[in-house]
Amino acid sequence: PQFIVDLVKSCLDANPLNRPTAKEIYEIFNPWSLSTELRKQISKTVEINNNSSNNKIPSTNLGLSYKTHSETFYASRLLNFDNLPEPKNSDDYYERNDNIIGMEISESLQIDIS
């Protein structure tokens, strides 16, 4: 549903002050928890996801093994984050890919009746 897409966008806002609080998220979801139409949509989506995951080609295990040298050691180091650019929202990404959820669902809803 579109309200979930909008909520995700607001939760990913570059400015933390623009992100919804836990209480605001609860207030958004609480009325929808009683919606039978939303429950139907979620059930259908879960069913589609389960069916599509069963149709995927399983990954092959090539039997690769990685061995480390006995004298190898790993050392951690401090990272310098002083010169990071200011965070910004990627509005152009959302404009280009705003219908990506709808495309995936519509493709998975195609039924072969032959």
Cβ contacts of 52 within 8 Å, gap of 6 or more: 108
Question: How many domains does one find in the chain?
Answer: 1
**Residue 13 is part of which domain span?**
1-51
How sure is the predictor about 68, in pLDDT bands with cuts at 50, 70 and 90? confident
Instruction: Supply the DSSP string of 19-52, one letter for each residue.
Output: SPPHHHHHHHHHHHHT-HHHHHHHHHHHHHHHHH
* Residue 87 placed within a domain: no
* Residue 113 placed within a domain: no
* Residue 2 placed within a domain: yes
* Residue 69 placed within a domain: no
* Residue 1 placed within a domain: yes
Higher pLDDT, 113 or 21: 21
Is the pLDDT confidence value at 32 over 80? Answer: no
How much is the pTM?
0.40
* Residue 35 placed within a domain: yes
pLDDT reported for residue 17? 93
* Residue 89 placed within a domain: no
* Residue 73 placed within a domain: no
